Amino acid sequence: MMRIAVVPAVYNRPDMLTALFEGYLAQDYPDFEIIVADDGSSAETKEVIERYQRRATFLITHVWQENTGYRAATIRNKAVAQTAADYIVFTDQDCVPRPDFLSKHARLAETGWFVPGNRVLLAQNFTQQILGHAGFVHDWKLAQWVVRRLKKDINRLQPLLTLPDGPWRKWQPRRWRGAKTCNLAVWRDDLIQVNGMDESYTGWGMEDSDLVIRLLRAGRRHKSGRCAVPVLHLWHKENDRSKLEANQRRLQELLRATHIRALKGVDQYL
């Protein structure tokens, strides 16, 4: 059986991390671990991780770096370096998986392909109800989500509808737009080949697009995980986007270049 490492990027939201862990405790796929990529959280986050380390039957590793600003690419590289798993599923602390999330990712996994999934956005009041311990939602049935859609507690229902696999999943093999590390599965060997994420991206935005473009240059292809592996995205205020314009310029430079490997990437931690 293929071993999966889930790599959630986290920062100072122990309430969201709790909901995420509850989702992974319910997974029907047995062979996985979680490498928490912690971008400088305080002790409260560490306490949540330690509590679930005692509860979980799977391995939970906490990889922490000092808080010197938003450095998601750096902490994700450090987390990837801590595992020998075959397959990496990147996600974020605000993304709760359903019980079949990893088993469906495993079913879609195919040599030479990476798999982006999509998400359902939960409204602010609904998120606050969940995080206020009104109950976790990772194991809700479709009928319950239909009710929430009618109440406008979620933005759409479509990602929760399972479509059969088929050639349509490979119709856009060179697509990079829309692939985000809140829900992206990549073979670890492929990540090592392109030297992981480019740590020249700091602040929010574009580091995931950079990774996918370089994977495509390395000959890997996009296989859609839509209507198979959604995550439930908890509402939160927007991240600081003051560095987005600089990151967009950096991405445009990448598109004009030809390199495959990140100049400063995961190899420094291996």
pLDDT tens track for 194-215: 999 999 998 888 999 999 999 9
Domain CATH for 195? 3.90.550.10
Instruction: Inform me whether the pLDDT recorded for 114 exceeds 80.
Output: yes
Which pLDDT belongs to residue 145? 97
Mean pLDDT of the residues in the chain: 96
Angle (CA) 15-160-12 rounded to 5° is 15
**73, 46 Cβ separation under 8 angstroms:** no
Q: Is the pLDDT of residue 240 over 80?
A: no
Q: 231, 96 in Cβ contact below 8 A?
A: yes
- Domain tally, the chain: 1
Domain ranges, residue 158: 4-269
Reported as a single tens digit per residue, the pLDDT across 162-187 is 999 999 999 999 999 999 999 999 99
pTM: 0.96
CB atoms within 10 A of CB 241: 12
Residues 6+ apart with CB under 8 A from 133: none
Predicted confidence (pLDDT) at residue 134 exceeds the cutoff of 70: no
